[in-house]
Amino acid sequence: MSSKKSTSSASQNGAPGTKKLGARHKARKRAVDFLFEAEARNVDPVNLTAERIELARADDTIAPVSDYTSTLVEGVAENLDRLDGVIADHLKDWTLTRLPAVDRAILRIAVWELFHATDVPPVVAVDEAVELAKQLSTDDSPGFVNGVLGQIVLVAPQVRAAAAAVSSRPQVDTGGDASVDAEH
């Protein structure tokens, strides 16, 4: 355990040969914290995040919640069923409910980034998830998270392309008035 702490300290201090953890990494970690807490307390993660934003505004001793943390939590919450379905489809000999809650949160964030965060290269989403698993979960979790995401990253380009095709389609205005259709 002590080597893990010294690695984290060295990473944060930017020691030679270690990865410096940036603002996005911290935002992802905080999003994991919020998603984990919301699941444990059975509360809405978006509402929890909003409460923390207000709490940070009212108390200077509490770190502000970054916009990217909010984006991640909202994105995961809005797409939860789809994200869980994709993750569950790529688990071997496991079910989503059997995973440690922190691993579920990490995977949900990473899959959301793979599918929706066009400014995050897939390799970064996977690497960040593995790093979070190293920091926050069991010794087996980094390899497990990497294996699951290694499969999902292969379908991510198709998912992004499909989403782009749907969003670029012209919207058909049906007028929303059923009586007009009945008259014709």
Residue 181: the pLDDT is: 43
Contact between 90 and 148 under an 8 Å Cβ cutoff? The reply is yes
Residue type, 157: P
Torsion angle (degrees, nearest 10) of CA 156, 160, 166, 167: 150
The Cα angle at residue 39 between residues 38 and 42, in degrees rounded to 5: 80
pTM exceeding the 0.75 threshold for the entire prediction: yes
**Distances from the Cα of 73 to the Cα of 52, 165, 184, angstroms:** 12, 25, 46
Residue 70: the pLDDT is: 98
Residues 103 and 100: their CA atoms lie apart, in Å, by: 5
169: its two tokens: 């389609």
Kindly give the parts of the chain with pLDDT less than 50: 1-18, 176-184
Residue 174: the pLDDT is: 52
Residue 163: the pLDDT is: 80
Specify the length of the chain in residues: 184
DSSP 176: T
